Amino acid sequence: MHLRRAIPFLVLLSLLVAAAARGADPAALWSAKVQPLLDLQCVKCHGPIDQHGGLELDTPAAVLKGGDDGAVVVPGHPEASRLWQNLAADADQHMPPEKQLTEAEQEVIREWIAALAARQSPPAAEPDARPEAHRQFATVADAIDFFVAEGWAARGVEPAPPIDDRTWCRRLSLDLAGRIPTAAEVDEFLAQPADSRRSTLVDRLLASDDYAVRMRELWDLFLMGRGKRQSQEERRRQNGWWAYLENTFRTNQPWDEVVRELLVARPDSPEKKGASWFLYERRNDHQLIAEAVAPLVYGTRVDCAQCHDHPLAREIKQAHYWGLVAAFNRGKNVEGSAAVAESAVGGFVNFTNLKKESQPALLTLLGGRTLPENWPAGDQPEEDSDEKYVDPAAKPRVPKFSRREAFAAAATRDNPLLARGFVNRLWAVLIGRGIVAPADEMNARNTPSHPELLDWLAQDFATHQHDIRRTVRGIVLSRVYGLGRAAGPVPPEAFAGALERPLAAEQLARSWRIAAGLSPENEALRRATVTALPEVLPREYSATYQQAQFFSNAPDLQEILKPDPGSTAASLAALPDTSARVQGAFLAVYGRLPDTEEAAHAAQLFDPLPAAPAEPIRDLLWALLTSGEFLTVP
């Protein structure tokens, strides 16, 4: 190219790059691309724990502040920024040491620095611009639709069109009943008046035993983890844990009361018997208890703060981790029962940070409060005595000052994180992604996609006595819940279209049986499916060889496809021709008719054996039941 002709082209190119930089949102680039990259590659040496060269790279303000040698970023000018220069393979001070970022990773840093063009100084901590007054809405669904629509407008995205009533019925049944609806249930739903059929179905399912069981399955996993062995599940069942959780959701018990019962672990009635299992199953491992309690009461994990302050989330200190341990380290399982006793003395421990400094483990909460407690002076041990217990003859005895009770009261009465954590988790269950994601890491490293919506839902939940059904009802009756798949690439945090959600094992096992024309419950199939598909709400879904083997050759799945009387396979075999059988199979499995191409492919299965349909019917049903459409929430 001739130089004179090249100059206007280069000027135009620079103008286009500058315009693109001005149009990019540096805050969005930071949270979506830059922060995850720096967290992985740089923050270990340039973050809250270590600040090599006085440089911290865990927040935009810290990056723009620079280090001991001055600024590392010139806003709008990557080529003049040492943060960008030092990424080159031949840089004198190459970063990260002994690693080389890919071109794509380097481009992330370049793009962000370029997007800072309009910024002339490091950003100060911005005041909360949200209105102090709590916005009023007629329903929870109205609030959700308002705030999410604001987000669509701000992001410049168009929401997907809504799904039809038949698809919505299937989605709702999977979420609230843990299974697809039967054909009769769909017909009953569609026969209702159009303006009230959805709310009517929601209320019916919320009052059903199916809902109580489905919520128990989810919160059993969130609170306890998947039972790896059948014997572990049996212990939870036999010791009343499952019954306790089901009763919680069946009676719509306020969530703060539930959390208090789990933390105190002193059931006062037969229906509360299983509450103590939350602590008991951890078998006196007080650190394991602390790590389980944190997501429940704070909405975030604190595991990373065991040996030092959290390396990424500055607000999570080592004192918070050991404060949780101290709240429960006087407890001890009572053998031969599911009771967890608590001593009135002891449990005074110190923890050591990376600088070898020893500090007392006080009852410190994440919000900053430290619960008052008298520590023994010097090395003099405390003496236990009957006077320190409410009833010295009780078994087990209850101390007059109970650390568990003091912590439970603080965690449930003056702790806004409790409501925020629960509604965020519930949103993730029903929508597919938390307002803060991941749902169990609601901390400063993971900012909410819709902060005012999260604030509103949490305040509404707390104001209405932690009413679980109210919040569930609002979410599933919202416009957001009823959206179809987005046609193009849309950020998942925009909630502008239905996110892909794989069915959990329990949902799948029941739905298989309903599609096969059988009753939903079967322990053998449930357990086999749980073994093959143990994850629920995985951060990234990844199919495994074990799952592929299960879907291609599961004996329990093969069993339900036999043409026994009353089964779907038998009903299809009784139909007069291939076309009717194909249509019947699609209706039974997907709740819809096949399109022309699907019908043609399915009919080919019957060509070799039109007079002996049992085998092609089984193959067709198997193919439909293990397809991507069936394995995900519609």
Beta bridge partners, 333, equal 340
Please report the pLDDT score of residue 11 as a whole number. 38
422, 257 Cβ separation under 8 angstroms: no
Helix pair angle (255-264, 286-298), 10° resolution = 170
129 pLDDT higher than 60? no
Please report the pLDDT score of residue 118 as a whole number. 54
Dist CA 165 CA 197 (whole Å): 9
pLDDT band at 24 (very low <50, low <70, confident <90, very high): low
pLDDT band at 91 (very low <50, low <70, confident <90, very high): confident
Q: What is the mean pLDDT of residues 477-505?
A: 94
pLDDT band at 133 (very low <50, low <70, confident <90, very high): very low
Q: Which of 34-48, 366-380, 396-410 has the lowest mean pLDDT?
A: 34-48
Please report the pLDDT score of residue 6 as a whole number. 38
N-terminal to C-terminal alpha carbon distance within the chain? 54
What DSSP string describes 190-211? HTS-TTTHHHHHHHHHHTSHHH
Please report the pLDDT score of residue 328 as a whole number. 97
The pLDDT tens digits for 236-248 are 999 999 999 999 9
Q: For the chain, what's the residue count? A: 634
Q: Which single residue is written with the structure tokens 């970023």?
A: 73
Alpha helices by DSSP H, listed for 267-381, are 277-280, 286-298, 318-328
2 pLDDT higher than 50? no
Please report the pLDDT score of residue 8 as a whole number. 41
Burial of 134 (0-12, 13-18, 19+ CB in 10 A): exposed
433, 442 Cβ separation under 8 angstroms: no
Please report the pLDDT score of residue 610 as a whole number. 58
pLDDT band at 134 (very low <50, low <70, confident <90, very high): low
50 pLDDT higher than 80? no
The pLDDT tens digits for 534-569 are 888 877 777 788 888 899 888 989 999 999 999 999
Where in the chain are the domains? 17-115, 140-162+415-494, 165-207, 210-374+389-413, 505-631
Which CATH number is correct for 505-631, 1.10.3470, 3.40.50, 1.10.3130, 1.10.10?
A: 1.10.3130
Residue in 525, 530, 590 with CA at minimum distance from that of residue 554: 525
> 617 by DSSP, 3-state: which?
helix
199 pLDDT higher than 90? yes
Helix pair angle (209-224, 286-298), 10° resolution = 130
The pLDDT tens digits for 140-193 are 999 999 999 999 999 999 999 999 999 999 999 999 999 999 999 999 999 999
Q: What is the mean pLDDT of residues 439-450?
A: 93
Please report the pLDDT score of residue 458 as a whole number. 97
CA 50 to chain centroid, in Å, comes to: 30
Dist CA 175 CA 215 (whole Å): 9
3 pLDDT higher than 80? no
Dist CA 358 CA 373 (whole Å): 19
The pLDDT tens digits for 587-614 are 999 999 999 999 999 999 988 665 678 8
> 358 by DSSP, 3-state: which?
strand
14 pLDDT higher than 60? no
Q: What is the mean pLDDT of residues 293-316?
A: 93
pLDDT band at 472 (very low <50, low <70, confident <90, very high): very high
With pLDDT > 90 as the criterion, what percentage of the chain qualifies? 67
The chain-wide mean pLDDT, for the chain, equals 89
Please report the pLDDT score of residue 124 as a whole number. 39
Please report the pLDDT score of residue 30 as a whole number. 74
* Residue 235 burial (CB count, 10 A): 16
Dist CA 408 CA 265 (whole Å): 10
φ, ψ at 343 (rounded to 5°): -85, 155
Please report the pLDDT score of residue 120 as a whole number. 46
255 pLDDT higher than 90? yes
Dist CA 245 CA 224 (whole Å): 12
Please report the pLDDT score of residue 425 as a whole number. 98
Q: Which single residue is written with the structure tokens 């609230």?
A: 176
